[in-house]
Structure 1
Amino acid sequence: MRLTSPGHRALRQTAGAVGAVALMVLGAAPSVAADSDPGLVLGKIAPIDVKPGSEFSVPVSFTNTGTAALDKVWMAFGLSHGLSYTEVPSNCKIKQTGGADETPSALGMYCEFDQTVKPGVVYAPEKTVTLKARDSAMDDQLGVQVSSRRIEMGTGEEGDYSEPGTAPAVKLVERPDATPAAPGSAEHGGWDMKSAKVTAKNTADFQLTGAQLKGKVGDTVPLAVKFTNAGPGWVPGEPEVSAAYVRIKMPAGTSVVKAHGFCHSVGSGTYECGTGNYWIYENGGETYDFKLKIDKAVPGAKGSAAFVKKPRPFDPVKSNDTAAILLDVEGDGATGGSSSTPTPSSSSGSGSGDGVTGGSSSTPTPEGSGTPSTGGSGSTSGSGSSTTGTSGSSSTGGDLANTGSGSALPLMAAAAGTVLLGAGAVLVARRRAARQQ
């Protein structure tokens, strides 16, 4: 979602950075800054370390570095998925943004201050903004914008905001003890923006769940391998790069009739699978659905699933990083062997699994967010065959399928673990069609 201010135009920008949390814009840069535009300069906001579930204050101030007083100013605050507001004043409005297949969910608050703002004076909200780190907080970001023009959301139409807040209205007060920004130091004319990292020491347990297949030679059977982020933290990830990579090796004696759209063959009955988005909400993930044909009975045949390629320092549990795919061929005395989980050499986990099931199969439901990327179909059984193990929805959001590589159009990325708010609107273009096998 893009937020604009009247008289501003969106600027297409591209930049690359690791670990962007969200792409969110609170106002775009004007096409040409008029000489008469006032100079608004926000004070710096230091990085913040918090504990999940805790509240914290964010001191915010700004200076009118112009030569004339302003009759009114607007301020906007943007929070990434792991953060929320403790209250919303009645002169402010709040709205959820993102949460689709282009950006993670974020929460914007837009405040109007109908009062005189004198030049050369530092102002701040009379009540310090207080935020809460959700239980899912990890690498998050807050952003602040001040503007001499009304900040609109989306199309800029009236009514595009949510209902006003219910807490007492907040006004701006002078801060005579603070040092004002120097005259002429404004970079953007009638607006300014600042952002800061909010880091919470948290973990996210990535889990894999395998399956047990059963059928006769010649049958086509469904296979569903499930990847789940059991949380508690969400994982922002890096734009245009899959949030995780899973390598799935099929049992001997089978061939893939149809592969999941986020997966591609790497040879020898092995597929590498990416994710639909570059972030993973808590309790979110992917279900990789395949259709396998049982070509022949191979005694002891079994496959495996394992995380590969990307390090996960936030994930301390390694015992569920791999999962087994067992095959029981009816009428031939061939079975997939024991239920112990193999540990493929390509796995990033060091521990062994505990059978077919490597983790939770709960339906992804992000905390306090818009609808995450879920959907898709579960397992579809073939003729004369059955499957036990995982099933569920397959994420269809985004196009980071096929391990996240490809010719995706440029995304604007912020610094590590950031939300981009303010100058320079971002137009996000995503490939929406996953490669189909």
Structure 2
Amino acid sequence: MPRPDRRASRASRASRAAVAALGAAGLIALAAAPAAFADDAEPDLVVGGVKPVSGLKPGSTFDVPVTVANKGTATAGKAWVTYAVTRGLDFAEVPSNCWTQHVRSYDEMPERWTAVCEYDRSVQPGALYTPETPIRVKALDRALDDELRVEVDWNAPWPDENGEDPVAGTAPAVNLVETQTGATGTKRLVDVPVTSVNTADFRVTGAALKGSVGETVPMKLQFTNAGPAWVRNTTVKVVVKPPAGTSVVKVAAFCRADGHVYYCGMRQPAYNEGGQENYTFQLRIDKRVPHAKGSVALSTEPRPFDPDKTNDKADITLDVTGADPTGTPGGTGGTGAPTSSPTSSPTGGSTSGSGGSAGGAAGGSSAPVDDGTTPPDGDLAATGSPALPIAGAAAAAMVAGAGTLVLVRRRRNQNPS
């Protein structure tokens, strides 16, 4: 390659120095930018005047008095106030400067309706404002334990992506007016409870099982909220006790075992008026137990909204058909746990369960309890006994191999050629 010209090299060096100087100046400007932006004033809107509501009756209405204040140092060009209510409430009428949206339940959030109102006026720092006509909310027939949320912003909020298409209000538009009365809030968002005088009837449905010994049958149970109200805050569970002489081989969804009792939860839609949750267990009939009966019941947490306790518990009956087959393993005497099975022992004997305890002839023992959630182990993991003959066979093979090796070496010594 030809040698570069000296002048060109000097020019190139000068150009590179200029670029470096510009870059340094840019970095200094960027470093100073946050301080400059930090000095820019912004509005800081807060909402007030929102209070809890109680003692409503289905079909009644109430107004939502709201104040808007600006705690910042800059004027807000507009204000948006968002009202949100849970599914026991709705908006009686919506002004035309507002839009509403129905949002389905997701991520532990309850179903709700929102109304977003745009107020086209400036909000000055230190001043207090209120809608000239408050928005009105009504209690539906399913109202009981609801919630009202009010939020203010100086930027336009977006519709919830999990909701339906927004719908414009049809009532006359409402303006935001300055006021000298009302409480000034301290937060941008406020949640308050709204309770109504109403009831909800939680109930359970049992099952009538039928089958022969050794057969696996489905056990279908049900929880229902017969209404008329929906329920938002509750920890009620469904408690299942299988009939005696049976064992659970498959547990229903939303259920967990605690010994021989199963505690079942449910999804939020089951708490809605008319909502249901179904539980299907797979139950093996281990033995015939006279008059065997299980139960399904609601847990005992206080439920003041549910005065009818007559349907909080139901029976699970079992009709064992046919004669007990020969060699049928014994049951657990009412525990609902699986029983032991006759299996060969290393000494040629057998084991047998009897009433859930070690029984009978030499070496007999009961099987471990299985709640239907753990798969059975193999023979080696369950007892350990098959490992003895396997180990003996391996040792015999090693001795035989060693004898063969000695014999081959002796023959080689006798016949060196």
Please report the TM-score for the alignment, with normalisation by the length of structure 2.
0.63
Give the fraction of aligned pairs with identical amino acids, expressed as a percent. Answer: 46
1:38 match:
43
Greater fraction of residues in helix: 2
What is the CA–CA distance in structure 2 between the aligned matches of 1:266 and 1:66, rounded to whole Å?
A: 56
Q: CA deviation at 1:221?
A: 1.3
1:287 match:
278
1:252 match:
244
What is the CA–CA distance in structure 2 between the aligned matches of 1:141 and 1:118, rounded to whole Å?
A: 30
Q: CA deviation at 1:73?
A: 1.2
Distance 1:229 1:151, change over 3 A: same
What is the CA–CA distance in structure 1 between the aligned matches of 2:263 and 2:45, rounded to whole Å?
A: 50
Q: Deviations over 1:129-153 (max 9, x none)?
A: 1001112212211111111111123
What is the CA–CA distance in structure 1 between the aligned matches of 2:249 and 2:164, rounded to whole Å?
A: 47
What is the CA–CA distance in structure 2 between the aligned matches of 1:436 and 1:285, rounded to whole Å?
A: 28
Alignment of 1:318 onto 2:315: no
Residue 213 of structure 1 aligns with an amino acid whose one-letter code is L
Q: CA deviation at 1:193?
A: 1.9
Q: Deviations over 1:98-120 (max 9, x none)?
A: 41352210111111122233444
1:430 match:
none
Q: Deviations over 1:7-64 (max 9, x none)?
A: xxxxxxxxxxxxxxxxxxxxxxxxx997511132322322111112211111112123
Residue 168 of structure 1 aligns with an amino acid whose one-letter code is P
Structure 2: where are the runs of 5+ without partners? Answer: 1-36, 325-372, 376-417
Q: Deviations over 1:162-188 (max 9, x none)?
A: 122222222212324x1574xxxx866
1:237 match:
233
What is the CA–CA distance in structure 2 between the aligned matches of 1:161 and 1:171, rounded to whole Å?
A: 25
Q: CA deviation at 1:332?
A: 4.8
1:227 match:
223
Q: 2:120 aligns with which of 91, 110, 114?
A: 114
What is the CA–CA distance in structure 2 between the aligned matches of 1:311 and 1:65, rounded to whole Å?
A: 44
Distance 1:436 1:323, change over 3 A: farther
1:262 match:
254
What is the CA–CA distance in structure 2 between the aligned matches of 1:195 and 1:301, rounded to whole Å?
A: 51
Residue 222 of structure 1 aligns with an amino acid whose one-letter code is P
Higher alpha-carbon deviation: 131-140 or 305-314: 305-314
Partners of 1:237 and 1:278 within 8 A in 2: no
Structure 1: where are the runs of 5+ without partners? Answer: 1-31, 334-434
| RCO higher in structure (CA 8 A, sep ≥6) | 1
1:102 match:
108
Q: CA RMSD in A?
A: 2.9
Distance 1:41 1:103, change over 3 A: closer
Residue 46 of structure 1 aligns with an amino acid whose one-letter code is K
Alignment of 1:164 onto 2:165: no
Please report the TM-score for the alignment, with normalisation by the length of structure 1.
0.60
What is the CA–CA distance in structure 2 between the aligned matches of 1:83 and 1:436, rounded to whole Å?
A: 45
Task: Specify the SS of the correspondent of 1:153.
Answer: coil
Task: Specify the SS of the correspondent of 2:43.
Answer: coil
Larger radius of gyration: 2
Alignment of 1:348-387 (within 5 A): none
Partners of 2:89 and 2:140 within 8 A in 1: yes
2:53 match:
48
Alignment of 1:329 onto 2:320: yes
Residue 111 of structure 2 aligns with an amino acid whose one-letter code is S
Distance 1:33 1:253, change over 3 A: farther
What is the CA–CA distance in structure 2 between the aligned matches of 1:100 and 1:163, rounded to whole Å?
A: 21
What is the CA–CA distance in structure 2 between the aligned matches of 1:88 and 1:180, rounded to whole Å?
A: 24
